[in-house]
Chain A
Amino acid sequence: MPIIEVENLTKVFGRHPKQAIELLDQGKSKEEILQETGQTVGVNRASFSVEEGEIFVIMGLSGSGKSTLVRLLNRIIEPTQGNIYVNGENLSEMDKKALREVRRKKMSMVFQKFALFPNRTILENAEFGLEIQKVPKEERQEKATKALELVGLGSYLEQKPEQLSGGMQQRVGLARALANDPEVLLMDEAFSALDPLIRKDMQDELIDLQSTMQKTIIFITHDLNEALKMGDRIALMRDGSIVQIGTPEEILVNPANDYVEKFVEDVDRSKVLTAEHIMKRPETINIEKHGPRVALERMSKEGISSILVVDSKRILQGYVTADDASQAIKDDIKDLQEILRTDIPKAMKDTPMNEIFDIINGSPIPVAVVENDRLVGIIVRGAVIAALAGNSGVNE
């Protein structure tokens, strides 16, 4: 069962939201509604569900409604319509008291600009959530200290936030959220205000933490690279609507529409595509059946200068070059074994593109893609470059 289920969640900013909702139901766009009624549609009938332990990324450009959407989830912004189920309980129908309990125990939030309390020490900041729950001082200090140690700030307890760098401040923000031991973390552009290097560190660290914590994380970002790196699944937003939900791969490989495709164009593909996406079916010869003559014939037919050699079980043996093969024919050598070369670069199906790029750069021959020693594909230099350039020859 999903931990969070969102149904038809809508937020209209303005005085007469009902009017706007009627127009939405008639299929009018955000722009038309703004012109006709002056109401702004923040989030338009968003529906999705988030599984336990998943990092669910909501991504979109500024103004796409992603920050509004995350605030609807804990009702810091009141939804105009729609339901939010947390563990099957309908959050949108809760009274204030029950809602407070959910915010205290189940969902914590991390903010883009950290939102630390400047008058409190780091420890007091991390304690805040527990203090609100009236947890006795000793217990909450202990838990907050643990949370701070978890994010590597165990020795900064008595500092004030302004004494810390941006990256460290956001760690405090994360520790403050973790101290409550919530089931769900809402992270609103949590790393967007950090400079790129720190940002990368924080992403890696969160992924590390997540592997031990197994929290459910709803992660908001405007950066597709970040989304692809962090997300188990990604929801893409535009003009308040969710346009596509899918795994990073699905979004890259099958963009749902032009908008998504345009997004995807900018992405650093080398981080997301793997060997599997760009490999081709290889030309091979069978070491048990064929000799140098067949090898040379195949090569000249395909216009290649080397060919991979496998056995009958398609276990990769090595490769032969055209030069070696023609020399062997002259010398009347029948056995491929004698001219077989084995210094072949290999990659796995899930080797990322940027690594393949490094491998292929130092090698005159194509990269073989193997799975349990069996040859499954081949990657030529041209395919790598084409994929990096954006028009990947995927699954030709």
Chain B
Amino acid sequence: MMLDFIPEIPISDWTTDFTKWVTDKFAFLFDFIKDNFGSLMEFLTAQLMVIPPIIFILIIAVLAFFLSGKKFGLAAFSIVGLWLIYNQGLWEHLMNTLVLVLIASALSVIIGIPVGILMAKSKIAETIITPILDFMQTMPAFVYLIPAVAFFGIGMVPGVFASLIFASPPTVRFTNLGIRQVSKELVEASDAFGSTGAQKLFKVELPMAKATISAGINQTVMLALSMVVTASMIGAPGLGREVLSALQRAQVGPGFVAGIGIVILAIIIDRLTQSSSKKENM
């Protein structure tokens, strides 16, 4: 057969070798990240756990009240939803999940926005980065777990790593899109008045793209949350782990309860980030 002329290309071996090489070569870096980052996240979780749940719930409710334009709906939902999670004994898991999502989102934003700006400014960068983003988003998320474990072992840090890869593309894409969508006349106006590149970016392009970028960040946070269950397969603690263990033991009840917890968290975070981006847009 024609198709068999070329022997099987050992892509799988190459990838394995490459990962191994990276793991060995950069072990110092990975260890450093793992140690420091891991303890930072544990510290953060511990801090959140110190706050009495009732205070925490009230803070979120007040935040929801003001961010949603002084409406009671989201605030009321936050109080009932978070209380329910507490009531089901999932509070610590909730805090773990929250830290994982927040850290992964924060990193996605910190890395994603500059990359998005680079893409908006350079046609070459856009041409190179776009297929990489496609790859990151379409490759099944489980696949990232394997090198994540190889680099960072198990626990929260590889969870964040996998979430970061999976969740950062929307921020990058929306930042790029947002800047490219800034009207040509406004860009010309800023040039015509003698802006430097940085002035143009910070005084015109980023402010104008803010709403679009916020939408991207909202997507990123949601994707990070959706990685919670997947990341629990490599030992990331939190609500996801409850779902996973319920699945492994075929326990419908606990699985459902933990799942509801994730849904409640998702709704609150989504509405909070959305309403804050809408408010900025006004």
Contacts and interface: CB of A to CB of B under 8 A. Distances in A.
B206 to A, nearest CB: 10
Nearest to A125: B189
Q: Report whether over half of chain A's contact residues are helix, strand or loop; otherwise say mixed.
A: mixed
A101 B194 CA distance: 7
A132 B191 contact: no
Contacts of A100: 194-196
B188 A131 contact: no
A128 B185 CA distance: 15
Contact of B186 (A76, A109, A115, A131): A115
B208 interface: yes
A179 B195 CA distance: 15
* Residue with the highest number of chain A CB atoms closer than 10 Å, among B193, B196, B199, B208: B193
A132 B199 contact: yes
Interface in A356-385: none
Contact of A111 (B188, B194, B204, B207): B188
A131 B203 contact: yes
Contacts of B208: 117-119
A103 interface: yes
B192 interface: yes
Which size class do B's interface residues fall under?
A: 10 to 19
A44 interface: no
Contacts of B204: 117
Nearest to A74: B192
* Residue with the highest number of chain B CB atoms closer than 10 Å, among A100, A101, A176: A100
B130 interface: no
Interface string A338-361: 000000000000000000000000
Interface string B22-60: 000000000000000000000000000000000000000
Interface in A42-72: 71
A109 B203 contact: no
A104 B207 contact: no
B183 interface: yes
Nearest to A120: B207
A174 to B, nearest CB: 13
Contact of B195 (A108, A109, A132): A132
A356 to B, nearest CB: 43
A108 B189 CA distance: 9
Nearest to B211: A119
A180 B186 contact: no
Nearest to A102: B194
Interface residues of A, number: 27
Given A117-B186, A117-B204, A119-B208, A108 B199 contact: no
A109 B195 CA distance: 13
B193 to A, nearest CB: 4
A129 interface: yes
B273 to A, nearest CB: 20
Contacts of A111: 185, 188-189
Contact of B183 (A103, A115, A180): A115
Contact of A113 (B185, B194, B207): B185
A163 interface: no
A103 B185 contact: no
Interface string B185-228: 11011111111100100011001101000000000000000000
B205 to A, nearest CB: 11
Given A117-B204, A119-B207, A132-B199, A103 B193 contact: yes
A133 interface: yes
Contacts of B189: 109, 111, 115, 117, 128
Contacts of B192: 74, 76, 103, 107-109, 186
A131 B185 CA distance: 19
Contacts of A131: 203
A342 B192 CA distance: 61
Interface string B167-199: 000000000000000010110111111111001
A103 B200 CA distance: 14
A362 B203 CA distance: 61
B154 to A, nearest CB: 46
* Residue with the highest number of chain A CB atoms closer than 10 Å, among B190, B192, B195, B204: B192
A176 B193 CA distance: 9
A119 B204 CA distance: 9
A262 B190 CA distance: 38
Contact of A180 (B193, B199, B207): B193
Contacts of A107: 192
B194 A132 contact: yes
Interface string A88-118: 0000000000001111100111011111011
A101 B196 CA distance: 11
A53 B199 CA distance: 31
B185 A115 contact: yes
B193 A129 contact: yes
Contacts of A74: 192
Contact of B188 (A76, A104, A108): A76
A131 B275 CA distance: 31
Interface of A: 71, 74, 76, 100-104, 107-109, 111-115, 117-119, 128-129, 131-133, 176, 180, 186
13 contacts: A100-B194, A100-B195, A100-B196, A102-B194, A103-B192, A103-B193, A108-B192, A111-B189, A113-B185, A118-B208, A119-B208, A132-B194, A132-B195
Nearest 6 CB-CB pairs, A to B?
A104-B194, A103-B194, A115-B185, A109-B192, A115-B189, A129-B193
Given A74-B192, A132-B199, 8 more contacts: A71-B188, A102-B194, A104-B193, A108-B192, A115-B185, A117-B189, A129-B194, A132-B195
